[in-house]
Amino acid sequence: MSEPHNRLRLVRAGIDTYQQPVVYMHRDCHVCRSEGFTALTRVLARSGDREVIATLNVVVDDHLALNVAALSEAAWQVLKPDPDAWATFSHAEPPASAAALRAKVFGQRLDDTDFLALMQDAVANRLSDIELTAFVTACAGDRLDNDETIALTKAMLAVGERIEWGGGPVLDKHCVGGLPGNRTTPIVVAIIAAAGHRIPKTSSRAITSPAGTADAMEVMAPVALDIDAMRRVVEREGGCIVWGGNVRLSPADDLLIRIEHPLDFDSDGQLVASVLSKKAAAGSTHALIDIPVGPTAKVRSAAAAASLEARLLVTAQALGLHLTVMRTDGAQPVGYGIGPALEARDVLSVLRNEAEAPRDLRNRALDIAGALLDAVPGAEPGKGRAQAHMLLDSGAALAKFLAICEAQGGFTEPKPAPHLRPVLANRTGRIERIDNRRLARIAKLAGAPGSAAAGIDCRVRIGNSVRSGEPLFQIHAQTPGELEYAFGYATAHPDVFEIGAAG
């Protein structure tokens, strides 16, 4: 049926609604009237042989003509209309997975078929943000058991691409975030690739943090490679560090994360499905998960870490993925810098074996690389760390890192920020605790990650003694306004560093 009464010409609204397709129609247009559409109606738009389900926003003034429908960027990308193309509009039927969603919300267990239907509808944009949120919430806490976690992981894997690397081990690592500055990835990838192994690493940009690995890496080399370019880099150098957003290895995960982050939900089931679906999609055979544990890290207790570890291991086994889990100290930042360029500087400092390189970052990178080398089939157990050490000290890891940067498009030295200001201790004593979350917030107020050079340079550590008036950290910013903004917040929250009695 293509009744003229439900047709409108398509125009581009030029509005980015972050993945959710939105269609804008005038309240008085003949389609709204004949179809009974009102604001937030789920509308099926068909143009040529393409279709998209979009949420309706109703235009009430004369910015939009009566005979057109405007599409948000997400809707435009799906329909890809020709100039002057028309679309027909109708009420969207409930998605096929609506019954499964409802069952989960009402506390029932779902099986493989249910999760597959849900993930298929998700990546086909047939679920509204409201429906995705209901799914995420219904799976939060302990509402996914192990079997459901495995089913969800497999479903997320099934609806995306999966890279095949041919035979042989493919290594990978991942850190369950929450620790500012913990930028081990570029160092680990350089060591593993220098050892002759394959490690095709995709990383995320910051979502709520001052820098993701992709942001820090982008200071030194291009990271927005597509899947073919990534494959060429890995075939040439053994490793890469690219932004996962362009590779889209787990598109279902990208959609769910977009809902989970503003809610700050970090349930084990969803975290495991998110991490392991991406590893498996990347074609990994041997992966290491770093879980920093600390009072202001993402995982806050040993019990929480143990529960997460168990869930990771059982799910990895079901996927045929060899997994090593490493729990690390998450009490304070790692390295000196927090922010893309400052973290990149630390990475280079470690790779260059500079005397002032942050030892905590260096040691963590060696621990992780060593454990990964131990996990490779045929490796002599316990020799991995010594091998990693040798590859780093010899300059082989640095050479490999620079070669990877070249293969990704060329190396660039990080540039410092033009505006600096220290934040001073307001008493003399010993550093007892550091609030990672507040520290990250200051770095963000200073402009990170939007301004790559912005962030924090912090050299004091728990156990260090400081004197009143000595600097606790430096704020780096691109503009004086941002510098003052971050400084204002830092001075209003002197408890970011808890300073005990003078030691």
Residues with catalytic roles? 266
- Cα–Cα distance between 317 and 354 in angstroms, integer? 40
Residue bearing tokens 């340079």: 457
Task: Quote the least distance from Cβ 240 to its own copies, whole Å.
Answer: 25
**Choices 38-46, 193-201, 277-285, 493-501; region in contact with its own copies by CB under 8 A:** 38-46
Q: Which residues contact 184 (CB under 8 A, 6 or more apart)?
A: 173, 175, 290, 334, 361, 364, 365, 368
CA–CA distances in Å: residue 500 to residues 66, 166, 427, 462, 466: 68, 56, 9, 11, 10
Does position 401 interact with its own copies (CB under 8 A)? The reply is: no
Task: Quote the least distance from Cβ 443 to its own copies, whole Å.
Answer: 11
Residue bearing tokens 């809902």: 259
- Cα–Cα distance between 274 and 268 in angstroms, integer? 10
From candidates 2, 49, 84, 107, binder to its own copies by CB under 8 A:
107
The three-class DSSP label of residue 78 is helix
**Choices 336-344, 382-390, 394-402, 443-451; region in contact with its own copies by CB under 8 A:** 443-451
- Cα–Cα distance between 341 and 344 in angstroms, integer? 5
End-to-end alpha-carbon separation of the chain, Å?
81
Does position 34 interact with its own copies (CB under 8 A)? The reply is: yes
- Cα–Cα distance between 211 and 456 in angstroms, integer? 11
What is the arrangement of strands in the sheet containing 471-477, beginning at the earlier edge strand?
337-338, 455-458, 471-477, 419-424
Does position 165 interact with its own copies (CB under 8 A)? The reply is: no
Nearer to its own copies, 133 or 307 (CB): 133
Does position 129 interact with its own copies (CB under 8 A)? The reply is: yes
Nearer to its own copies, 428 or 479 (CB): 479
Q: Which residues contact 240 (CB under 8 A, 6 or more apart)?
A: 189, 199, 200, 201, 225, 230, 233, 234, 404, 407, 408
**Choices 36-44, 335-343, 361-369, 411-419; region in contact with its own copies by CB under 8 A:** 36-44
Does position 1 interact with its own copies (CB under 8 A)? The reply is: yes
Residue 335's Cβ-side half-sphere holds a number of Cα atoms within 13 Å equal to 29
From candidates 7, 9, 248, 258, binder to its own copies by CB under 8 A:
258
Task: Quote the least distance from Cβ 20 to its own copies, whole Å.
Answer: 9
**Choices 139-147, 308-316, 403-411, 420-428; region in contact with its own copies by CB under 8 A:** 139-147
**Choices 8-16, 154-162, 193-201, 367-375; region in contact with its own copies by CB under 8 A:** 8-16
Does position 265 interact with its own copies (CB under 8 A)? The reply is: yes
From candidates 8, 23, 87, 138, binder to its own copies by CB under 8 A:
138
Q: Contacts with its own copies: how many residues (CB under 8 A)? A: 63
Nearer to its own copies, 60 or 502 (CB): 60
Nearer to its own copies, 3 or 380 (CB): 3
What is the arrangement of strands in the sheet containing 497-499, beginning at the earlier edge strand?
465-466, 429-434, 497-499
Which residues is 397 bridged to in the sheet?
none
Window 55-94: contact mask with its own copies (x via CB under 8 A): --xxxxxxx--------xx--------------------x
Tokens of 374: 């131990």
Nearer to its own copies, 101 or 351 (CB): 101
* Residue spans of beta strands (DSSP E) within 245-303: 286-293
**Choices 180-188, 261-269, 330-338, 369-377; region in contact with its own copies by CB under 8 A:** 261-269
From candidates 48, 50, 113, 130, binder to its own copies by CB under 8 A:
130
C-beta of residue 212 within 8 angstroms of C-beta of residue 449: yes
Residue bearing tokens 């939105």: 22
C-beta of residue 212 within 8 angstroms of C-beta of residue 203: yes
Residue bearing tokens 């992709």: 214
Nearer to its own copies, 136 or 199 (CB): 136
C-beta of residue 358 within 8 angstroms of C-beta of residue 346: yes
Does position 418 interact with its own copies (CB under 8 A)? The reply is: no
From candidates 7, 15, 65, 430, binder to its own copies by CB under 8 A:
15
From candidates 7, 9, 17, 429, binder to its own copies by CB under 8 A:
17
Identity at 482, one-letter amino acid code: E
CA–CA distances in Å: residue 251 to residues 20, 71, 120, 244: 13, 21, 10, 10
Task: Quote the least distance from Cβ 191 to its own copies, whole Å.
Answer: 33
Does position 363 interact with its own copies (CB under 8 A)? The reply is: no
Q: Which residues contact 63 (CB under 8 A, 6 or more apart)?
A: none
Site for its own copies in 478-497 (CB under 8 A): 479, 481-482, 485, 488
Does position 304 interact with its own copies (CB under 8 A)? The reply is: no
Site for its own copies in 267-296 (CB under 8 A): 267
From candidates 16, 28, 393, 495, binder to its own copies by CB under 8 A:
16
Does position 475 interact with its own copies (CB under 8 A)? The reply is: no
Considering only the C-alpha atoms of the chain, give the largest distance between any 2 of them, rounded to a whole number of Å. 82
**Choices 46-54, 98-106, 112-120, 235-243; region in contact with its own copies by CB under 8 A:** 98-106
Which residues here bind its own copies, judged by CB under 8 A?
Answer: 1, 3, 5, 12-18, 24, 27, 33-34, 36, 38-40, 42, 57-63, 72-73, 94, 98, 102, 105-107, 128-131, 133-134, 136-138, 140-143, 258-259, 262-265, 267, 444, 447, 449-450, 479, 481-482, 485, 488
